């Protein structure tokens, strides 16, 4: 019997690199073919979903099944290309397993871009971007995203700050300070630079600006780094509560709070 390929969590969705168009025939990667044929025991005629980050969601039929390979034939578009909120996660890389976890969960929580940053207390010296992308793809497949977050080349903190876009605000997760929680920081009124006598007020981040979240390594930011970040225009120090969170927990908590306040969790 043929039908929809499903697993306990839902229908099978795969990310492919090439374009998706009606009747296009796609050769899955060897790993995807193995997954479809041997893990999911797919048969010719079974249906699954495909996305590539550009062309929306497509229904595709499995054809030309041999022992090791098959073809995926694009039948019809089943959903539009969707965008997540424009939210970057800038994080100091941690050890391999927690970084895998962080990339997967940040993708599920809807980060649009992941930027590893080397700080003074970052212990990890190299980042495997291919591995990060593979984790992001897996999480996008599983969570129903039609895009995959961009994974940027890691940068040292000074360099990152030197080239920081002027129109992007930075929620600086600062465990050591007197910072406000994110909700209060968003609600805080600041005197408008245009207003006379500071009478007119504007909410922090009002308008069309975009956002990033910055979290540190297991050892935290050093005092000089904290001072430099805090002194920047557009950087808003925030607390994630009284408890010190592990680096991966902090990044994910901040993403969840942002998405519920300013993101697409409404």
Residues in contact with ligand SAH by the rule CB under 6 A: 173-175, 215-216, 218-221, 239-241, 243-245, 247, 250
Q: How far is the CB of 183 from ligand SAH (least distance, A)?
A: 13
Q: How far is the CB of 95 from ligand SAH (least distance, A)?
A: 13
By the 8 A CB rule, do 254 and 264 touch? no
Q: How far is the CB of 107 from ligand SAH (least distance, A)?
A: 19
Q: Which is nearer to ligand SAH, 73 or 124 (CB)?
A: 124
Say which DSSP state 4 is in.
B
Q: How far is the CB of 66 from ligand SAH (least distance, A)?
A: 49
Q: Which is nearer to ligand SAH, 65 or 180 (CB)?
A: 180
Closest C-alpha to 146, from 70, 261, 231, 55: 55
Query: CA 173 to CA 140: how far, in whole Å?
Result: 25
Q: Which is nearer to ligand SAH, 5 or 157 (CB)?
A: 157
By the 8 A CB rule, do 4 and 48 touch? yes
Query: CA 162 to CA 165: how far, in whole Å?
Result: 9
Q: Which is nearer to ligand SAH, 77 or 239 (CB)?
A: 239
Q: Which is nearer to ligand SAH, 113 or 245 (CB)?
A: 245
By the 8 A CB rule, do 211 and 169 touch? yes
Q: How far is the CB of 85 from ligand SAH (least distance, A)?
A: 21
Query: CA 223 to CA 225: how far, in whole Å?
Result: 5
Q: How far is the CB of 216 from ligand SAH (least distance, A)?
A: 2
Say which DSSP state 100 is in.
H
Q: Which is nearer to ligand SAH, 11 or 156 (CB)?
A: 156
By the 8 A CB rule, do 75 and 33 touch? no
Query: CA 4 to CA 16: how far, in whole Å?
Result: 18
């Amino acid at each position: 019997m043929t039908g929809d390929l499903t697993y306990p969590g839902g229908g099978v969705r795969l990310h492919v690199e090439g374009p998706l168009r009606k009747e296009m025939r796609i050769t899955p990667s060897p790993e995807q073919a193995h997954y479809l044929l041997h893990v999911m025991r797919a048969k010719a005629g079974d249906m699954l979903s495909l996305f590539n980050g550009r062309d929306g969601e497509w229904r595709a039929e499995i054809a030309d099944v041999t022992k090791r390979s098959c073809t995926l034939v694009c039948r019809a578009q089943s959903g539009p290309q969707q965008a997540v909120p424009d939210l970057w996660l800038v994080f100091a890389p941690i050890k391999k397993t927690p970084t895998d976890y962080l990339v997967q969960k940040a993708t599920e929580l809807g980060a649009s871009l992941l930027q590893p940053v080397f700080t003074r207390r970052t212990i990890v010296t190299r980042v495997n971007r291919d591995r990060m992308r593979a984790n992001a793809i897996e999480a996008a497949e599983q969570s129903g995203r039609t895009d995959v977050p961009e994974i940027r080349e890691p940068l040292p903190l000074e360099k990152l700050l030197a080239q920081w876009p002027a129109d992007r605000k930075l929620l600086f997760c600062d465990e050591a300070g007197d910072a406000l929680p994110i909700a209060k920081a968003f609600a805080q009124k600041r005197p408008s630079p245009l207003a006379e006598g500071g009478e007119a007020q504007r909410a922090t981040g009002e308008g069309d600006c975009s956002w990033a979240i910055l979290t540190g390594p297991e050892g935290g930011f050093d005092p000089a780094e904290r001072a430099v970040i805090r002194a920047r225009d557009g950087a808003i120090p925030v607390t994630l509560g009284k408890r010190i969170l592990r680096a991966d927990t902090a990044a994910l908590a901040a993403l969840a709070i942002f998405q519920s306040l300013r993101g697409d969790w409404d």
